[in-house]
Amino acid sequence: MSLITEIEERSVRLDELGYTDLGDSFEEMKIRARHSQFNFPYLFDGEKEEVSRAYGPTATPHLFIFDAQRKLCFVGRFDDSEREEFVKTHDARDAIDALLAGREVKTRQTKAFGCSIKWAGKQEEVKKYMAKLAAEPVTVELANSEDLKNLRRNNSGKLRLVNFWATWCGPCITEFPELVTINRMYRHRAFEIVTVAANFPDERKEVLAFLEKNQASTRNLLFGDTDKYKLMEAFDPGWNDALPYTMLISQTGEVLYKVQASVDPLELKRMIVKSLKEDRFK
């Protein structure tokens, strides 16, 4: 089952995943738990979400701390700011420290601030969102050597993912839907995807048909010269000519990720999230 199909069946739009590498399904959470080395249980509430709703959370994260007798002693936030440099009170830690020391918890409840909770039941909303995405226009333009040099320099002010592909390249065709999904996840942030078809200029109709089929409303380029080696040299003299070829370029032109084969979607998303987070706090 593709990621897009899974999203349609749940209640999370792809743009709501713009700050993470994975969704919140049980299977994806198991991957996250292993990768992040969680040393605590992660519980799945099932399709009806009865236990979660009984707690009454209003946002994520929303903490509920119980004492050894299972008496609720604290409800609220981790601390008073999601930015570490602005934190003045460590509400959850203070509550835990008090309980471990046998003291009364001074602040028993605070407001919680964070993302909205993605309860089940929003499938129709997600379907409308996906239909809107499917209706976006798809275009392709010819690119010469100078265009590709500028593409590599990256003066866009955004984190840029460039993918070279071709209609005759099996691995390119297979991985392309993942790139469309990645674009939909992160494009509302300082991020963009540019696809470059390594076909000949007179194959534009075939290229456009593939892009339209995959709803690729990204910026799409097509080799504008029959001398492909000249164009590849213009983008990256170290390119060994294999397809697919994908490069993640920072806002300052630094190569953060480069693979001359099929991408690992999860590895790539983790790199995108990390890079966007680091740039946010510069």
Residue-range domain boundaries for the chain: 136-280
Interval 10-16 mean pLDDT: 81
Per-residue pLDDT tens for 177-192? 999 999 999 999 999 9
What is the per-residue pLDDT for 275?
94
Confidence at 280, pLDDT banded by 50, 70, 90: low
Residue 69: is its pLDDT beyond 80? Answer: yes
What is the per-residue pLDDT for 5?
44
What is the per-residue pLDDT for 3?
43
136-280, what's its fold?
A: Glutaredoxin (3.40.30)
What is the per-residue pLDDT for 116?
83
Mean confidence (pLDDT) of the chain: 91
**How far apart are alpha carbons 131 and 61 in whole angstroms?**
30
Interval 76-84 mean pLDDT: 93
**How far apart are alpha carbons 268 and 262 in whole angstroms?**
11
**How far apart are alpha carbons 136 and 151 in whole angstroms?**
23
Amino acid at 85: E
Residue 240: is its pLDDT beyond 90? Answer: no
Residue 1: is its pLDDT beyond 70? Answer: no
Helix (H) or strand (E) holding 267: helix 265-280
Structure tokens at 18: 């713009």
245 burial via Cβ count (<10 Å: 0-12, 13-18, 19+): buried
What is the per-residue pLDDT for 102?
95
- How does strand 72-76 pair with strand 191-197? unpaired
Structure tokens at 179: 């790139």
Query: 196: Cβ–Cβ under 8 A, 6 or more apart, which residues?
Result: 143, 148, 151, 162, 163, 164, 165, 220, 221, 222, 223, 235
Per-residue pLDDT tens for 111-154? 999 888 888 777 888 889 899 999 999 999 999 999 999 999 99
Q: Is the peptide bond prior to 61 cis by the omega test (within 30 degrees of 0)?
A: yes
Give counts: helices (H), strands (E), the chain: 10, 8
150 backbone dihedrals φ, ψ, rounded to 5°: -65, -35
What is the per-residue pLDDT for 47?
79
Per-residue pLDDT tens for 199-215? 999 999 999 999 999 99
For the range 19-22, what are the long-range contacts, defined as Cβ-Cβ under 8 Å and sequence gap of 24 or more? 19/189, 19/273, 19/276, 20/273, 21/266, 21/269, 21/270, 21/272, 21/273, 22/266, 22/269
Question: Which of 21-30, 88-97, 236-245 is predicted least confidently?
Answer: 21-30
Per-residue pLDDT tens for 35-52? 999 999 888 888 788 999
Confidence at 8, pLDDT banded by 50, 70, 90: very low
Per-residue pLDDT tens for 154-179? 999 999 999 999 999 999 999 999 99
Structure tokens at 268: 């790539």
